[in-house]
Amino acid sequence: MAALMAGFGLYTHAIVRRIPASLAKEALRTSEAEVDVDKARGEHDAYVEVLRTRLGLDVVDLPADESFPDCVFVEDAAVVCGDTALITRPGAESRRGETEAMKRALKALNLNVVEMTDENATLDGGDVLFTGREFFVGLSSRTNQRGAEILADAFKDYAVSTVPVLASLHLKSFCSMGGPGLIVIGSSEPAQKALKIMQQMSDHCYDKLTVPDDFAANCIYMNLPDKGHVLLHCTAEQYPESFKVFEKLKDYTLIPVSNMEKVKVDGALTCCSILINKKGSI
Amino acid sequence: MTTEVGSETEVKEKAEESADQPDQSEKATEETQEVASAEGEEKGKEKEGKGISKFLPTWLKKQKSLSQTSPTKEAALKEEAISVEKQEEEGPAPEVNGLADEVPEKEAVKSEQLKEKEEKPHSKASTDTEPAKEEKVDESVEKSPEETKETTEGQGVEEEKKEQEGEVQGEGEGGGGGEEGQTSIFQSPLRLVRKTKMKLVVCHVTLLDGTDFSCEVEKRAKGQFLFFKVCDHLNLLEKDYFGLTYKDNHEQTSCLDPMKEIKRQIRSNNWQFAFNVKFYPPDPSLLSEDITRYLLCLQLREDVASGRLPCSFVTHALLGSYTLQAEFGDYEPDQPRPVDFMSQLNFAPSQNKEMEEKILELHKSHRGMTPAQADAQFLENAKKLSMYGVDLHHAKDSEGVDIMLGVCANGLLVYKDRLRINRFAWPKILKISYKRNNFYIKIRPGETEQFESTVGFKLQNHRSAKRLWKVCVENHSFFRLNTPEPPTKPRFLTLGSKFRYSGRTQAQTRTASSLIDRPAPRFERTSSKRISRSLDGAPMISITEAGRDSAENGREHRLDDSKVKTVDVSPGDVEDTSAQSPLRVHVDNIYVRHSNLMLEDHDKTQDEVLKHQASISQLKRSFMEAPPPSPPQTNQWEKRLTSSPATAVRVQQQQVVSEPHAEAAAAAAAAADFTISDTKESAKTAEVEIEETVVIQEVSKATKPALITVTTDSPASAPTDQETREPEVTVQEEVAVPKDAKAAKQESVSSESESEEEAEYHPNVSVSLSHTQIPEEKEEEDKENEDETAEQNMLAPDVSSHQAETSHPAEDISGGVVESQKEDMKKNAENEKEGRETEDSTDDLMMTPEETPNGVALSEEAVAAHVEEEPEPRINGEPRPQVICYSEPPVVKTEMVTISDTFAAQKTEIATKEVPIVHTETKTITYEAAQLDGTGDGEPGVLMTAQTITSESLCTTTTTHITKTLKGGLSETRIEKRIVITGDCDIDHDKALAQAIKEAKEQHPDMSVTRVVVHKETELAEEEED
């Protein structure tokens, strides 16, 4: 059925992109960390493998483009909800070109593609949190009000609320959905403050799962047939305390995914894929 | 007991009648009279209905007592109480549909009858003169002087009328008693019409399916009458979600107020209406009947097709497919529709071939779905849309940025463009108010926040601010309130204007729906008509939005008229007019407060005090910062700041002065106080603004919303009224006048109460000011203000008129004073009035003793305005639990009384304590708690206690002033307590005083008593009056 807002977490396809060698040196980052491209590629391969093999998604694997060091973080290039895909206008000038390949891929999937052409608008997909009932858009260094407006226009069915993001790169740098109505949130003050804002702005009640590490709050939730609740989250090696929190989730298929290298260039788990549900679409 | 009832009844009537200014006032008076009589005879509300037939010579006193009593009661919820009562009346009705409906109609009928009767008396004629009556009414509205006369006459005639009314009522009651069917109700009005040969008007109502429904209604019929007719036609039982709308003069769609006469709302002679959804049920599946869902579907289809309810391409297609299924059944490939079939149907604002194909494709998948199922699916999807049930209003934020305010079942949403930038759930909102074109919400502090904050928005104009405010009130009432329990109800909404939501709440309507026991009615789905029409561009349908907006305009207009009337009247008959005017003024602002505020003040710890200060400073800042609203706010703020000290001074003066001219001085002082405050306000504000505040009690910790009695002092003498009535008179004049009055009088009784009131109620004060100013504004701005005033007037008029009639010139004078800009006049008048008033008050007080026990003291009375004020307060206070004070600028008597329920216990205590002294006689105990916090406005916490004991000829006023000044804060916190004991000479002043001080110390151990003023007044009424 094509019921509105049905099947949160149900995905059939995933779009990912390979890591360019330029990632190590040229990818944007908020820290000075050195990135080992090989390690990063290893992690990414494992990540894609989980999506493809373990979860059975149809993975669209886009080739890397050396001219776009950050291109692996496909999440920022588009926002897909239902069968509508909004091609974003990334806040970082150097990343604007990433959307071309994304647009082609989305069109190939027969999605209703909407482009953000307003030159005053910027939007990174990493600032967009879709809860199943509504959108929260972080207003960050990468995303502005106009970008959020265009997103609201693209997804008219849903409320789109803005949340100021000051202390981190993206809204989803410290939060994500851990299930229907469950927001995983970091424990830092900015994260908690943002959560408060989201709760206030919403007509819906959300449960929250607080993890000690902000970055660990970025996880990937899916609700797949035959697999139930699936959660891709941080490893014990990377965030031991947060890992313990995830371990306590019941009735979940918990899949720790290593993300030690990509995090150095601010890449979180959700950043590396765009998840699409083609079955439910009308 | 009786008194209570009476007050309630009055309130109800007022509320209902608010729409009709002139009529209402008259009615109110009549009602009051009736009530009074009823009290004398019996209690019962029941009598109310019948009560019309009763008249009492003593009504004046009784009325006063009533007013006092009402405040006293916990109910005190004045308007709310009223509404509640109404609801109760309705609610009790076992029949799902009906009783409620019937009751209102009955009432309406009664009112109509009353009106007619009243009119008749005026004309001295009988039914035959009906047309003439109508004309007169209209004229009266326009021509104040005539009206005044009429009113006075009306009162005189009232008795006669009452007799007539009795008959009419009898009929109504008969119908009501039967309560068997709506029909009976309907019939009664019709009968009346026929008897009276009332003119019938043909109303055209555009239904949701696009068809027109025409019916005849009496020209004076209330909105409800027409609405029920339409519902009958539609066979709709769950009608509370729906309403009628019309286009006002500004081409804006407004809700037809069911409780007001249609004629007074539509203004133009365009009897064209539309039937629309007013409240979108959050979960349509909970509706009982398919027909209700069907109608909701029709509305939503229109909303979607017009773009009012935005949705995505996919959703458009999905909803369209359900529409097809519901209207045309299964997709039949064998019977291909004409090529342009789909394009003739309007599904979306931007409909294209692609969408139509998608719709057809989806339609195929719905095979086997019944129309009802398709409708249900449609609603299941539509309800999830983020803008479902959101009523948008254009506004600007404090920085002048264009935003949209969306009112919905859950609260208030703030949008900038399409983005939600803020949200205020109903439980988070403590108070909703508007002032001029500013709209304010006071937010409950969050977990980590210490202070309440007030958020202001600027609307396009006063009218839109009021519309928004009303919509908020209605939505909050409908969706958040459970049962309209009478007294204690923590209804969130208290309306400054009379306005309140008069229908059933969602909870009630659900209950009623669950009782629906009839076979599912058959109905024909004719949506296609509408769809095709909509393509044609039938504009009528767009009403939905307007509907949400509610009929502010209508009310306003009405109010305006009434106000105008009053104004006019005053010139003609000073006394009468004045009396009415004050009343009106009073009504304007109603603040519902959390009694907690008061308690906080009392019990405040150092921290709390600091908080207070902080909040105050915050308020200050907010006021200062708020660009547009700043002037008024600032004024208020200043007032508060200034007022308290000033008051103190005044008080001192009073002490000195008072003794000499006991009564006069006191009265003058009181007047002065009010005046002063008013003046300040006026000066600051320059413009009169009417604020309507809705306090949401849900949040409140207080068990009961404190009863706040709104006392409006309309001290102004008749002459003043005349002046005031000159709408164009500038505020400056008014201001000046008050000042002069102060100076001249010097008695300057500094009404502490005012100061207190100011602090908490400041907004109210402003309101009162607005009254005075209102006339000006009216002319200048919109009629809305007038309306508000009118509303107030409506309430007040009765009392005032009674008083006036009763030969209580004082009241009238007072009213006049308020209005009157001339200080001299006022002063003299006030003095005279005061004296008179005192007498009156005494009488009232006598009446009130019963009330006193209740423990609710009216600050108003305390204020010194005692007598005069009382009448007003009664009016005001009756319905609303929380007191709203109106300070009328020039008026000597302005007071606001705030009583917090929460403190009921305290009150009682206080009352008891004080009572002993006064108890025996009529005492009016006014307990005012400044709502320091609640308002957030300014004044830190001021607690006032005032007792007024009035005997026939003597008034003793004891005032205790407790001032506490805290250092270290940005602001000074003063807690004032005022106890006014007015009574016969018999009163032991020393004893009373001692007790008062003792109490004060007990209550505020950490504070010192800085002033004790004993005021002894002798009635002067005889001197000047008349």
pLDDT tens, position by position, B280-320: 999 999 998 999 999 999 999 999 999 999 999 889 999 99
Q: Is the pLDDT of residue B32 over 70?
A: no
Compute the distance between CA of residue A114 and CA of residue A123 in angstroms, rounded to an integer.
Answer: 13
User: What is the percent of chain B where pLDDT is above 70?
Assistant: 29
**Is the per-residue pLDDT at A218 higher than 70?**
yes
Lowest-confidence region among B34-48, B558-572, B656-670: B558-572
Distance from CA of A163 to the nearest CA of B (A): 8
Q: What is the band of B345 on the pLDDT scale with cuts at 50, 70, 90?
A: confident
Q: How confident is the model at residue B158 (pLDDT cuts 50, 70, 90)?
A: very low
- Interchain contact, B423 vs A200, CB within 8 Å: yes
Please give the Cα distance from B159 to B164 (Å, whole number).
9
Strand, coil or helix: B644: helix
**CA-based nearest distance B379→chain A, Å:** 11
| Chain A positions in Cβ-Cβ contact with residue B318 (cut-off 8 Å) | 2, 4, 282
Helix, strand, or coil here: B38?
helix
What percent of chain A stands above pLDDT 70? 97
Q: What pLDDT digit, counting tens, does each position of B950-959 carry?
A: 333 333 333 3
- The answer to whether residue B238 scores a pLDDT higher than 80 is yes
Give the pairing of strands A78-81 and A84-87.
antiparallel
Tally the C-alpha atoms within 13 A of residue B57's C-alpha that lie toward its C-beta.
0
CB contact under 8 A, A83 and B314: yes
Could you say which of A2, A153, A201 has the minimum Cβ distance to residue B318?
A2
pLDDT, averaged across chain B: 53
Neighboring chain B residues of A84 at a CB cutoff of 8 Å: 312-314
Contacts of B408 in chain A (CB under 8 A): 203
Q: How far is A83 from chain B (nearest CA, A)?
A: 8
Distance, in Å, from the CA atom of B889 to the CA atom of B10, rounded to the nearest integer, reads 26
Q: Which chain B residues contact residue A202 at CB under 8 A?
A: 423
Give the whole-angstrom CA distance, residue B946 versus residue B950: 12
- Residue B374 with chain A: CB contacts under 8 Å: none
The ipTM of this complex is 0.91
| Backbone region of residue B179 per phi and psi (left: phi > 0; alpha: psi in -120 to 50; beta: other values) | left
State how far residue A150 is from chain B, nearest Cα, in angstroms. Answer: 9
Contact B421 A2 (CB under 8 A): no
Residue from the list B310, B315, B417 with its beta carbon closest to the beta carbon of A149: B417
What does the pLDDT read at residue A27?
Answer: 82
Of A96-110, B474-488, B718-732, minimum mean pLDDT range: B718-732
* Residue with more model confidence, B257 or B406: B406
Identify residues of A whose CB sits under 8 angstroms from chain B CBs. Answer: 2-5, 82-84, 112, 133-134, 137, 145, 148-149, 152-153, 155-162, 196, 200-203, 281-282
Residue in chain A lying closest to B362 (CA) = A282
Q: A79 or B561: which carries more pLDDT confidence? A: A79
Residues of B in CB contact (< 8 Å) with A are: 310-315, 317-318, 358, 362, 380-381, 384-387, 408, 410, 416-423, 425, 428, 446
CB < 8 Å to B380, chain A: 3
In chain B, the residue whose alpha carbon lies closest to the alpha carbon of A132 is B384
> Would you please indicate which residues of A are annotated as catalytic (active-site) residues?
170, 271
Residues A156-173: what's their mean pLDDT? 93
Interface test with B, best of A1, A4, A145 (most B CBs within 10 A): A4
Count how many pairs of residues, chain A against chain B, have C-beta atoms within 8 Å.
78
Least confident of B138-142, B252-256, B315-319, B1012-1016: B138-142
Segment (H or E) for B759: helix B752-780
pLDDT at residue A241 is higher than 90: yes
| A175 pLDDT higher than 90 | yes
With a CB cutoff of 8 Å and minimum separation 6, the contacts of B527 are B209, B297, B298, B301, B323, B326, B327
| Cα gap B794→B141, rounded to integer Å | 12
User: Residue B378's closest chain A neighbor by CA?
Assistant: A3
Residue predicted with more confidence, B492 or B495: B492
Q: What is the mean pLDDT of residues B864-881?
A: 36
Which pLDDT does position A137 carry in this prediction? Answer: 96
- Pairwise CA distance, residues B634 & B624, whole Å: 6
**Beta-carbon separation of B384 and A282 below 8 A:** no
Which residues pair with residue B406 across a beta bridge?
B392, B413
Q: Are strands B438-443 and B453-458 parallel, antiparallel or unpaired?
A: antiparallel
Q: Which residue has the higher pLDDT, A152 or B666?
A: A152
Report pLDDT digits (tens) over B832-847: 444 444 333 333 333 3
pLDDT digits (tens, 9 = 90+) for B504-517: 888 788 777 777 77
pTM of the model: 0.54
Residues of A in contact with B418 (CB under 8 A): 149, 152-153, 160
Q: State how far the Cα of B940 lies from the Cα of B645, in Å rounded to an integer.
A: 13
**Is the pLDDT confidence value at B909 over 70?**
no
Contact across the interface for A153 and B418, Cβ inside 8 Å: yes
Per residue, the 3-state secondary structure of B650-694, as one string, reads HHHHHHHHHCCCHHHHHHHHHHHHHHHHHHHHHHHHCCCCCEEEE
Residue B211 neighbours by CB distance under 10 Å: 12
B362, B422, B423 ranked by CB distance to A282: nearest: B362
